[in-house]
Amino acid sequence: MSSPGPAVHTNGQVHTNGIVRAPAAERDDARPPVIQVTDLVKDYARGSNVVHALRAVTLRVQPGEFVTVMGPSGSGKSTFMNLVGCLDRPTSGSFLLDGVDVPSLNRSQLADLRNHKLGFIFQGFNLLPRMNALENVMLPMVYAGVSGNIRRQRGHAALEAVGLEDRAHHRPNEMSGGQQQRVAIARALVNAPSLILADEPTGNLDSRTSVEIMAILQRLNRAGATIVLVTHEPDIATYSSRTVLFKDGTLVSDQPNRLIVVASDTIAGWPAREEEAA
């Protein structure tokens, strides 16, 4: 027997158990994939043994997707992210990043591709402690050879996009973990990358701050950013549009999330933070 199903509201959102969910954004299948890996293999030598970290992984990610990568420890998630992040080379298989054949590139071409096409967000924020927020955000543009004035303008705009314009001149140790991660997100955005790679971005944050970070990532995704995010937390995956699961170096599941939890609506239902209420 079929259940009556959740009530659908006029704005297309669905409320189930008090949680606001929205249908997945349309992925853009008309454009070429941002990630296209085919039969990707990565073996590591360990003494006289070979570790098969990735076994013939095939995956396509279209522009506008928000994909969560999950799987137990040792399943190959980091290996996959390192390859997609152009930080390591596959043993075999093909990998096109935004149409570019990555395995054929030399070291400096790879560095260039990383700088222009990828934005990285890490669990530990990885901000430079002696630089303020604006300087940290401007750094990828220094490597990309963007002129000083434009660096400053784009740096301020990126900080504004994550709601931190008023912290531009604060150093990381003068900011909370959530604020540092927002600076790191701004830094990931400044070169308008084709893909944002986030490795456990909420792993060092409390639950509430985690949802705030997911709200920012969802906003960026709605504005067109393609995001691939690794997490151990099933809750975090509910904010993305698709979840892939690794096990023993193999992709064992690849599911669209038909209804996505809307992080900003989750936050709207909470009481104000003490410091905000004061």
User: Does 76 contact ligand ADP by CB under 6 A?
Assistant: yes
Residue with tokens 């402690």: 129
Find the angle CA(121)-CA(253)-CA(259) to the nearest 5 degrees. 70
User: Does 49 contact ligand ADP by CB under 6 A?
Assistant: no
Structure token pair of residue 267? 């936050």
Check: CB of residue 13 under 8 Å from CB of residue 21: yes
User: Does 77 contact ligand ADP by CB under 6 A?
Assistant: yes
Q: What phi, psi does 43 have (nearest 5°)?
A: -110, 140
User: Does 51 contact ligand ADP by CB under 6 A?
Assistant: yes
Altogether, the residues listed in the chain come to a count of 278
H helix runs in the chain, sequence order: 77-84, 107-117, 133-143, 148-161, 177-189, 207-222, 234-237, 263-268, 274-277
User: d(Cα 233, Cα 54) in Å, to the nearest integer?
Assistant: 22
Region binding ligand ADP by CB under 6 A among candidate stretches 17-25, 69-77, 105-113, 161-169? 69-77
- Taking the least distance from each CB to ligand ADP, the nearer of 116 and 247 is 247
Find the angle CA(205)-CA(158)-CA(272) to the nearest 5 degrees. 45
Structure token pair of residue 208? 């509430």
CB of 43 vs ligand ADP, minimal distance in Å: 9
User: Does 90 contact ligand ADP by CB under 6 A?
Assistant: no
User: Does 85 contact ligand ADP by CB under 6 A?
Assistant: no
Structure token pair of residue 112? 């260039």
Region binding ligand ADP by CB under 6 A among candidate stretches 43-51, 147-155, 159-167, 259-267? 43-51
Residue 125: name the closest of 85, 194, 66, 171 by CA: 171
User: Does 199 contact ligand ADP by CB under 6 A?
Assistant: no
- Quick note: the x/- pattern for ligand ADP over 3-42, rule CB under 6 A, is ----------------------------------------
User: Does 71 contact ligand ADP by CB under 6 A?
Assistant: yes
Burial track 118-149 (b if 16+ CB lie within 10 A, e otherwise): bbbbbbebebeeeebbbbbbbbbbeeeebeee
Q: Which residue in 62, 68, 78, 194 binds ligand ADP (CB under 6 A)?
A: 78
User: Does 167 contact ligand ADP by CB under 6 A?
Assistant: no
- Cα radius of gyration rounded to whole Å, the chain: 20
CB of 35 vs ligand ADP, minimal distance in Å: 17
- Taking the least distance from each CB to ligand ADP, the nearer of 73 and 104 is 73
Size of interface with ligand ADP, in residues (CB under 6 A): 12
- Quick note: the x/- pattern for ligand ADP over 106-145, rule CB under 6 A, is ----------------------------------------
- Taking the least distance from each CB to ligand ADP, the nearer of 5 and 47 is 47
CB of 47 vs ligand ADP, minimal distance in Å: 10
- Taking the least distance from each CB to ligand ADP, the nearer of 79 and 238 is 79
State the residues that interact with ligand ADP by CB under 6 A: 44, 46, 51, 53, 71, 73-79
